[in-house]
Structure 1
Amino acid sequence: MGIFGTKRHEGAVWCVAWAHPKFGTILASSSYDGKVLIWREQHQNTTSPVAGSTWTKVFDFSLHTASVNMVSWAPHESGCLLACASSDGHVSVLEFRDNSWTHQIFHAHGMGVNSISWAPAASPGSLISSNPGPGQQRRFVTGGSDNLLKIWDYNPESKTYNLSQTLEGHSDWVRDVAWSPSILSKSYIASASQDKTVRIWTSDASNPGQWTSQQLEFDTVLWRVSWSPSGNILAVSGGDNKVSLWKENLKGQWEKVKDIEE
């Protein structure tokens, strides 16, 4: 990866992600080289109209022993937190606090972690406040090469992330996961798999530990799933170079509303 022509990673870069603007102009990158790099934009103190800015590497995390496939910033209400998914089977969570970076790293999937996505900071049915408070959560979902999804919750007493649930249903690698940003009465997680299916997992606010899933079948391997900002439309992409858009109808069934092709 080169920023202003400067190479910093020693392998293919798989993922880049912007932090929330409240933390400044910060970019994270992850690579096949097993590293996670965090960059900050530095504005030059000059009155020149052609002067721009420079990018400075502010943190280099290299404790993973295999490719880091995805990085994901937590909702800004939770703090400056970055979760990283690696083929070494581990997840790391980096946090910037008190002007320094700290990390946790733990084993998540036996055959490697392909994807990771944070839940909204507020539980379903609640409203997000401007300041951290009761009812807010730190949790994320991971997808692995063991065909599983796993949900992890932060324990503020032990200050660790603990496995709370395992979701089974796919018959091949889970390539991507995406937690819907919606904070209405339900939680939604979408998962894309090499088994040519997408599953949409649903949990009601009245019973948050119970997840059901609806399967969407395709004719190709699926690579990515992504929610609209409102969390009511799901985009799916796969090996056929197409993107399809899906929406839940009044009966609770997910229907395709559009195909997008080049």
Structure 2
Amino acid sequence: MVSVMNSIDTAHEDMIHDAQLDYYGTKLATCSSDRSIKVFDVKGGQQRLITDLRGHEGPVWQLAWAHPMYGNLIASCGYDRKVIIWKETNSTWGKLYEYSNHDSSVNSVCFAPHELGLVLACGSSDGSVSVLSSTGDGSWDAKKIKNAHTIGCNAVSWAPALSPNALFEQTGRPSLVKKLVSGGCDNLVKIWREEDGEWIEEQKLEGHSDWVRDVAWAPSIGLPKSIIASCSQDCRVLIWTNDGTSNNWSSSVLNKFKDVVWHLSWSITGNILAVSGGDNKVSLWKETLEGQWTCISDVKKGQGQVTESQSQVSRNL
């Protein structure tokens, strides 16, 4: 059974929508409907507020930490249609870049694997996905996948930079892969690939019967296959698998839950999936040698209640 090691009083004045640990697990960033982002030092079981960032004009939905090779960087997105990238310089946090070219709420942000450079994907209720790339001179290049999902895009997640077969290829240095997956209000999961500087739809995965709330591409663990998890308002989590020999993806149902499933998060090794949802529970799932997914632990209501607004599982599980 997973136990709650530490409870952190964030002092937010409204619902918390996301909580993300940094790469090393020593800093925690939280965001809220109170329009603020707070960063805490959480080393040694203690908490210390480092900064309170204010720049959004509405609820802040999601956060993402960049890889530490780029310094301390946090991306945030919100109901105000904005994406803001924050940077710590000489122990002081400030706004590095603001992107406001969406026509509706921005629901999801995710930094690409560090091998691909400083690149951020953003999914919006206007149905589009934006990909922001740092040019290195202080400016950012923005490309938009228009009409990625009808009605709206709820989640984005990057593929590992190295293809699953990279360790098995004998063709010299493996090439980097620039792909991402998105989930939307059209009940679809879509895979996108950059080709000649443009983003094209590589695959459309149909399996959910209601809005897809989150998608998570598993880190590469050296196996010759790709794995994506998706969750939905249909109360199901689907596991999508591609063996690398073709463009065909197969799906299996990890579990049918009693309530909406809001968020997913893979362990850093990609073999354990955390699931959180409207059943006030965070559960951990692992695939058996026979290919079946089993629940290995969970946090139930009473041990540490998880609500819709607080159910984002840290990407650094």
What TM-score, normalized by structure 1, do the two folds share? 0.90
> Which residue matches 2:117?
79
- Per-residue displacement from partner, 1:9-39 (whole Å, max 9, x unpaired)? 0000001111111111111110110000011
Unaligned runs of 5+ in 2: 1-35, 39-50, 304-317
Instruction: Report how far residue 135 of structure 1 moved.
Output: 2.4
d(CA) in 1 for partners of 2:105, 2:136: 29
d(CA) in 2 for partners of 1:12, 1:213: 34
Correspondence 1:1-262 to 2 at 5 A: 1-2=36-37, 4-5=51-52, 7-43=54-90, 53-99=91-137, 100-107=139-146, 108-127=148-167, 134-155=174-195, 157=196, 159-182=197-220, 183-207=222-246, 209-215=247-253, 216-261=255-300, 262=303
SS of alignment partner, residue 136 of structure 1: coil
Greater strand content: 1
> Which residue matches 2:5?
none
Instruction: Report how far residue 125 of structure 1 moved.
Output: 2.5
- Per-residue displacement from partner, 1:141-168 (whole Å, max 9, x unpaired)? 000000000000011x2x0111000000
- Per-residue displacement from partner, 1:165-220 (whole Å, max 9, x unpaired)? 0000000000000000024211110001000100000110223x111111121111
d(CA) in 1 for partners of 2:248, 2:270: 20
Unaligned runs of 5+ in 1: 44-52
d(CA) in 1 for partners of 2:113, 2:126: 25
The number of aligned residues is 246
d(CA) in 1 for partners of 2:296, 2:53: 43
d(CA) in 1 for partners of 2:284, 2:85: 32
Instruction: Report how far residue 105 of structure 1 moved.
Output: 1.1
d(CA) in 2 for partners of 1:250, 1:16: 34
d(CA) in 2 for partners of 1:219, 1:138: 36
Could you tell me whether the CA contact under 8 Å between 1:126 and 1:184 is conserved in 2?
A: no
- Per-residue displacement from partner, 1:200-259 (whole Å, max 9, x unpaired)? 00110223x111111121111100111110000111111011011111111112112222
Q: Which amino acid aligns with 2:88?
A: E
d(CA) in 1 for partners of 2:77, 2:37: 13
Let me know the Cα RMSD of the aligned residues.
Answer: 1.4
SS of alignment partner, residue 69 of structure 2: helix
What TM-score, normalized by structure 2, do the two folds share? 0.75
- Between 1 and 2, higher relative CO (CA 8 Å, sep ≥ 6) is seen in 2
> Which residue matches 1:48?
none
Q: Which amino acid aligns with 2:65?
A: W
